[in-house]
Amino acid sequence: MTAILEMRSVSKSFVGVQALRDVSFTVEAGEIHALVGENGAGKSTLMKVLSGVYPYGRYEGQIIFEGEERRFRDINDSEALGIIIIHQELALIPLMSIAENIFLSHAPSRFGVIDRDEVYRRTQQLLAQVGLKESPDTLITDLGVGKQQLVEIAKALSKRVKLLILDEPTASLNEADSQALLDRLVSFREQGISSILITHKLNEVARVADRITVLRDGRSVDSIDCRAEPVLEDRIIKSMVNRDMAHRFPERQPKIGEPVFTVENWSVYHPQHTDRQVIKNVDFMVRRGEIVGIAGLMGAGRTEFAMSLFGRSWGVNIAGRARLEGHDVHLTSVPAAIDAGLAYVTEDRKQLGLVLADDVRKNITLASLAQVAPRGVIDDIAELKAASGYRGRMRIRCSDVYQEAGQLSGGNQQKVVLSKWLMTDPKVLILDEPTRGIDVGAKYEIYCIIQELADAGRGVVVISSEMPELLGICDRICVMNDGAFVGEFAGSEATQEKIMRAIMRNEAIKNQETAA
Q: What is the pLDDT of residues 258-299, one digit of tens each?
A: 999 999 999 999 998 889 999 999 999 999 999 999 998 767
Phi, then psi, of 136 in degrees rounded to 5: -60, -20
Other CB atoms closer than 10 Å to residue 246's CB: what's the count? 8
Contact criterion met (CB below 8 Å) for 263 and 284: yes
Give the model's pLDDT for residue 67: 92
Over residues 39-70, the pLDDT tens digits come to 678 888 899 999 999 999 999 999 999 999 99
Q: CA–CA distance from 456 to each of 287, 289, 449, 459 (Å)? A: 12, 7, 11, 9
Measure the CA–CA gap between 359 and 415, rounded to whole angstroms. 14
- At 188 the three-state DSSP class reads helix
- At 406 the three-state DSSP class reads helix
Over residues 336-345, the pLDDT tens digits come to 999 999 999 9
Q: Would you call 158 exposed, middle or buried from its count of C-beta atoms within 10 A (0-12, 13-18, 19+)?
A: buried
pLDDT greater than 90 at residue 19 = no
For the chain, the first-to-last Cα distance in angstroms comes to: 60
Rounded to 10°, the helix 380-393/410-422 angle is 120
Give the model's pLDDT for residue 181: 82
Containing 484, the helix (H) or strand (E) segment is strand 484-490
Domains 3-241 and 272-341+428-516 share a fold: yes
Domain ranges of the chain: 3-241, 272-341+428-516, 354-425
Measure the CA–CA gap between 154 and 302, rounded to whole angstroms. 32
Measure the CA–CA gap between 336 and 455, rounded to whole angstroms. 26
DSSP assignment of 44-96 equals: HHHHHHHHTSS-TTSSEEEEEETTEE---SSHHHHHHTTEEEE-SS----TTS
Domain 272-341+428-516: which CATH number of 3.40.50.2000, 3.60.40.10, 3.30.365.10, 3.40.50.300: 3.40.50.300
Strand partners, 60: 11
Contact criterion met (CB below 8 Å) for 194 and 43: no
pTM for the full predicted model = 0.66
- Low-confidence winner among 175-179, 213-217, 307-311, 491-495 (lowest mean pLDDT): 175-179
Over residues 108-151, the pLDDT tens digits come to 888 888 888 899 999 999 888 888 889 999 999 888 777 888 88
- Low-confidence winner among 91-100, 167-176, 221-230, 417-426 (lowest mean pLDDT): 167-176
Q: CA–CA distance from 191 to each of 32, 163, 339 (Å)? A: 12, 12, 58
Measure the CA–CA gap between 278 and 298, rounded to whole angstroms. 13
User: Binning pLDDT at 50, 70 and 90, where does residue 473 land?
Assistant: very high
Alpha-helix runs per DSSP H in 263-359 = 302-309, 334-340
Measure the CA–CA gap between 143 and 140, rounded to whole angstroms. 5
CA angle 385, 310, 323 (to 5 degrees): 105
What percentage of the chain reaches a pLDDT higher than 90? 52
- At 421 the three-state DSSP class reads helix
pLDDT greater than 90 at residue 458 = yes
pLDDT greater than 60 at residue 254 = yes
Give the model's pLDDT for residue 77: 93
Rounded to 10°, the helix 440-455/410-422 angle is 10
pLDDT greater than 70 at residue 515 = no
Domain 3-241: which CATH number of 1.10.10.10, 3.90.180.10, 3.40.50.880, 3.40.50.300: 3.40.50.300
Please indicate whether residue 23 or residue 497 has the higher confidence score (pLDDT). Answer: 23
Alpha-helix runs per DSSP H in 166-266 = 175-190, 202-208, 233-241
Strand pairing class (327-328; 32-37)? unpaired
